[in-house]
Amino acid sequence: MNPLFESLMENSLTLLAAEPGDETAMVLSEADVQGQEEGGACFRLDLGDKQVNLEEIQDLVGFHRLGKIRELILDKNEFGDEGVELLAGAPALTGLVSLSLGFNRLTDRAARALAGAKAFSALRKLFFHNNALGPEGAAALASSPAFSRLEMLYLKGNPVGDAGAKALAASGTLGALKELYLDRTGIGLAGVLALGESEWAAGLTLLSLGHNGLGDESAWALAECPALRGLITLDLCGNRLSGDAIETLRESENLSSLRALQVDW
- Structural domains of the chain in order of their starting residue, each with its CATH number: 1-44+51-70 (no CATH), 79-262 (3.80.10.10)
Residue 234, beta-bridge partner list: 207, 261
pLDDT at 20: 45
* Residues of the chain under the 70 pLDDT cut: 18-39
SS3 state at 30:
helix
Is 0.85 surpassed by the pTM of this model?
yes
* Per-residue DSSP letter, 241: -
β-pairing, 13-15 vs 43-46, is antiparallel
The CB-based long-range contact list for 252-255 (8 Å cut-off, 24+ gap) reads 252/222, 252/223, 252/224, 254/223, 254/224, 254/225, 254/226, 254/228, 254/229, 255/222, 255/223, 255/228, 255/229, 255/231
Closest CA to 212 of 142, 160, 265: 160
pLDDT at 28: 44
pLDDT at 17: 73
pLDDT at 40: 73
Instruction: Write the pLDDT tens digit of every residue in 121-146.
Output: 999 999 999 999 999 999 999 999 99
